[in-house]
């Protein structure tokens, strides 16, 4: 069983420079690549280019360097917003949702957009376009 890392311990490790933000970004991308069969992310393009980098100007903020991702019905400026439906393909958010702005202000790094039940019209996370979403923490459970 994998060891679970808490947000608190991750923030402490970044602040104490026990891990570099760029190394954490690399680990997160490696993990995503290993878990592609779970369909966790909706990607229209390259994962590396969509995964942000830690803003050095925000170093020292409480979430600096911590990767976060958002369900695909949350606007993230510059990233596609599909709400899990092909009907919205090509739509790029021109601004951040309030929660995205708040987390970025605290230094969080946007890792991408998460797959979801089409238009949030269900709770099973089964998506006919991007596949059923698996739960990386609890296999066999909905994401």
Q: For residue range 52-65, what is the model confidence (pLDDT) as tens digits?
A: 788 888 888 999 99
Chain segment 63-121, per-residue pLDDT in tens: 999 999 999 999 999 999 999 999 998 899 999 999 999 999 999 999 888 999 999 99
Average pLDDT score, the chain:
88
Is the confidence at residue 46, as pLDDT, over 70? Answer: no
Of residues 57, 84, 54, the one with CA closest to residue 68:
54
Cα angle at 137 between 102 and 123, to 5 degrees? 75
Local structure of 70: helix, strand or coil: strand
Q: What distances in angstroms separate CA 54 from CA 24, 28, 49, one per listed residue?
A: 10, 13, 13
Confidence class for position 44, pLDDT limits 50, 70, 90: low
| CA count, 13 A, side-chain hemisphere, 94 | 0
Top pLDDT among 126 and 53 is at 126
Tell me how far apart the alpha carbons of residues 107 and 116 are, in angstroms, rounded to a whole number.
25
Tell me how far apart the alpha carbons of residues 131 and 123 are, in angstroms, rounded to a whole number.
14
The residues, any chain, with a CB within 8 Å of residue 81's CB and separated by 6 or more, are 72, 73, 74, 75, 88, 91, 92, 93, 113
In this predicted structure, what is the pLDDT of residue 2?
60
pTM for the whole structure: 0.86
Over range 118-135, report the average pLDDT: 90
In this predicted structure, what is the pLDDT of residue 1?
47
Tell me how far apart the alpha carbons of residues 119 and 82 are, in angstroms, rounded to a whole number.
8
In this predicted structure, what is the pLDDT of residue 66?
92
């Amino acid at each position: 069983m994998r060891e679970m890392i808490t947000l608190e311990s991750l923030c402490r490790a970044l602040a104490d420079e026990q891990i570099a933000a760029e190394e954490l970004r690399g680990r997160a991308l490696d993990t995503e690549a290993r878990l592609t069969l779970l369909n966790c992310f909706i990607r229209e393009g390259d994962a590396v280019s969509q995964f942000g980098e830690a803003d050095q100007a925000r170093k020292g903020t409480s979430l600096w360097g911590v990767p976060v991702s958002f369900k695909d019905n949350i606007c993230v400026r510059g990233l596609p917003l599909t709400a899990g439906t092909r009907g919205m393909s090509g739509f790029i958010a021109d601004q951040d949702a309030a929660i995205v702005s708040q987390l970025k202000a605290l230094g969080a790094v946007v890792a991408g957009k998460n797959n979801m039940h089409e238009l949030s019209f269900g709770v099973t996370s089964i998506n006919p376009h991007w596949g059923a979403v698996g739960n990386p923490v609890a296999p066999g459970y909905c994401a």
